[in-house]
Amino acid sequence: LAQAFVTLATNDSYARGAMVLGKSLRNHKTSKKLVVLIGPHVSDQARAVLHKIFDEVRLVDVLDSGDTAHLAMMKRPDLGVTFTKLHCWTLTHYSKCVFMDADTLVVSNIDELFEREELSAAPDPGWPDCFNSGVFVFRPSNETYGKLLQYCTEHGSFDGGDQGILNDFFSDWATADINKHLPFIYNMSSIAIYTYLPAFKQYGANAKVVHFLGQMKPWSYTYNPTQRRVRGSSQPGLLLQWWALYSAEVLPMLIREYGDQPFNSGCEVRPKHTEQENNHPLVSSAERKQRWEQGQADYMGIDSFDNIQKKLDVFLK
Ligand code: UDP
Ligand code: GLC
Ligand code: MN
């Protein structure tokens, strides 16, 4: 049986994260399969792009803890749906998998994680005797899946999300086997910048996986492609890495799928008639069409969203 990296996206925002994660795994030459679990709300266009990046795109039911009280304590009312993550145990056509949140980014090859056993994970920065469920090694098994669901119905989750369940279920993680403690560099949350800056300065460069844990996700920001700046972020370094990959490799695929239909690219559109634009040699419309079809849309210039919108307006009138 093969081995796979698995992620999850129940909507188009997290799907963008999944696309960047998938690309980052490919760019670092993983030899493993890539699987994305999606919910029914993911758009057809996003699905089409996911199909190009992942080996398997699997539609699953969205499970929701409905536990508003515990989620409110975390100030994350949106995380009930992370129960959906538990579906990953049903991927029994793989012998071993590594689950990764859609808000993670791989910055070097991590195939060595498959040498670890279930359940291996890195400490949670907020409570290090809990593991963070943004990156973990597991063995698909319908039996385990059944037990997890049963656990959910009988006990609920202490945080309202999957991490609470998984820590209760694999409750000896903190004490039983040090091999199941992944080094923090396999799930380095950007929070470390604030909580332990000297350690981040000392070790941050060794990180293999960055996790944009917390309410603000890379795709919640707006990116200015001309200045290569992330608007409104005081610590833009890691975010810039995400945006560089998104804007260079994922956005062109999305633009191709959406064609003339508007969608939120997350990029600020360049003001018209900037110097660069005027210096760009004009291309013929046939050549432009050819480039577009090859996925090389000039999405920051002539093929920018506001130009597409103008064209649409003309048609509609
Ligand atoms: N997720 C999702 N849709 C949602 C919320 C979460 O698909 O509405 C998935 C996604 O893979 C995400 C993971 O569940 O990365 C965990 O949620 P999140 O990363 O937001 O939690 P955090 O790491 O910030 O605690
Ligand atoms: C966490 C984890 C995330 C998980 C969430 C809900 O903070 O980073 O992966 O889904 O808690 O339990
Ligand atoms: Mn996360």
Instruction: Please state the pTM of the whole predicted model.
Output: 0.86
Same domain? 155 vs 13: yes
Could you tell me if residue 59 is inside a domain?
A: yes
Q: Which atom of ligand 2 is nearest to the CA of 160?
A: 12
Name every residue whose Cβ is closer than 8 Å to that of residue 136 and which is 6 or more positions away in sequence. 98, 99, 119, 120, 121, 166
- Whether 78 is in the pocket of ligand 1, judged by its Cβ within 6 Å, is yes
SS3 assignment, position 198: helix
The tens digit of pLDDT for each residue in 52-100 reads: 999 999 999 888 888 888 888 888 888 888 889 999 999 999 999 999 9
SS3 assignment, position 175: coil
Taking a C-beta distance cutoff of 8 angstroms, is the pair 7, 100 a contact? yes
Same domain? 175 vs 292: no
Could you tell me if residue 191 is inside a domain?
A: no
Same domain? 168 vs 54: yes
294 alpha carbon to ligand 3 midpoint, in Å? Answer: 33
The ligand minimizing its distance to the Cα of 16 is: 1
For residue 277, the model assigns a pLDDT of 42
Nearest C-alpha neighbor of 26 from the set 8, 44, 7, 41: 7
83 alpha carbon to ligand 2 midpoint, in Å? Answer: 10
Same domain? 154 vs 292: no
In eight-state DSSP terms, residue 95 is E
Number of domains in the chain: 2
Best residue among 88, 103, 130 to mutate for probing ligand 1's pocket (most ligand atoms within 8 Å of CB) is 103
35 alpha carbon to ligand 2 midpoint, in Å? Answer: 19
65 alpha carbon to ligand 2 midpoint, in Å? Answer: 13
Could you tell me if residue 39 is inside a domain?
A: yes
The tens digit of pLDDT for each residue in 121-139 reads: 999 999 999 999 999 999 9
Could you tell me if residue 311 is inside a domain?
A: yes
User: Edge-to-edge strand order for the sheet containing 188-189?
Assistant: 104-106, 209-211, 188-189
Please tell me the distance from the alpha carbon of residue 182 to that of residue 207, in angstroms, as a whole number: 12
Could you tell me if residue 306 is inside a domain?
A: yes
Which residue among 122, 148, 182 closes a domain? Answer: 182
For residue 17, the model assigns a pLDDT of 98
Q: Which atom of ligand 1 is nearest to the CA of 215?
A: 24
129 alpha carbon to ligand 2 midpoint, in Å? Answer: 15
Which residue among 123, 156, 182 closes a domain? Answer: 182
Strand 188-189 versus strand 131-138 pairing type: unpaired
- For ligand 2, which residues put their CB under 6 angstroms from it? 79, 82, 101, 132-134, 159, 161-164, 213
Look up the CATH number of the domain holding residue 115.
Answer: 3.90.550.10
Q: Going residue by residue through the chain, which has 317 residues, state the pLDDT in tens, using 9 for 90 and above.
A: 999 999 999 999 999 999 999 999 999 999 999 999 999 999 999 999 999 999 999 999 888 888 888 888 888 888 888 889 999 999 999 999 999 999 999 999 999 999 999 999 999 999 999 999 999 999 999 999 999 999 988 898 899 899 999 999 999 999 999 999 999 999 999 888 888 889 999 999 999 999 999 999 999 999 988 888 888 776 668 999 999 999 999 999 999 999 988 888 888 865 545 444 444 445 556 666 666 665 556 666 666 666 766 766 666 66
150 alpha carbon to ligand 1 midpoint, in Å? Answer: 22
Strand 33-38 versus strand 94-100 pairing type: unpaired
Could you tell me if residue 215 is inside a domain?
A: no
Q: Which atom of ligand 1 is nearest to the CA of 101?
A: 15
Could you tell me if residue 256 is inside a domain?
A: no
Which residue among 128, 154, 182 closes a domain? Answer: 182
Same domain? 288 vs 152: no
CA angle 83–45–100, rounded 5-degree value: 35
134 alpha carbon to ligand 3 midpoint, in Å? Answer: 5
The ligand minimizing its distance to the Cα of 17 is: 1
Could you tell me if residue 49 is inside a domain?
A: yes
- Whether 82 is in the pocket of ligand 1, judged by its Cβ within 6 Å, is yes
Range of the domain at 302: 273-316
Residue nearest to atom 5 of ligand 1 (CA): 79
Same domain? 172 vs 296: no
For residue 294, the model assigns a pLDDT of 57
Taking a C-beta distance cutoff of 8 angstroms, is the pair 12, 36 a contact? no
Q: Give 185-192's long-range contacts (Cβ < 8 A, gap of 24+).
A: 185/209, 186/110, 186/113, 186/122, 186/135, 187/104, 187/121, 187/122, 187/132, 187/134, 187/135, 187/211, 189/125, 189/132, 189/134, 189/213, 189/214, 190/214, 190/235, 190/238, 190/239, 191/125, 191/126, 192/125
- Whether 163 is in the pocket of ligand 1, judged by its Cβ within 6 Å, is no
In eight-state DSSP terms, residue 116 is S
SS3 assignment, position 213: coil
Same domain? 119 vs 18: yes
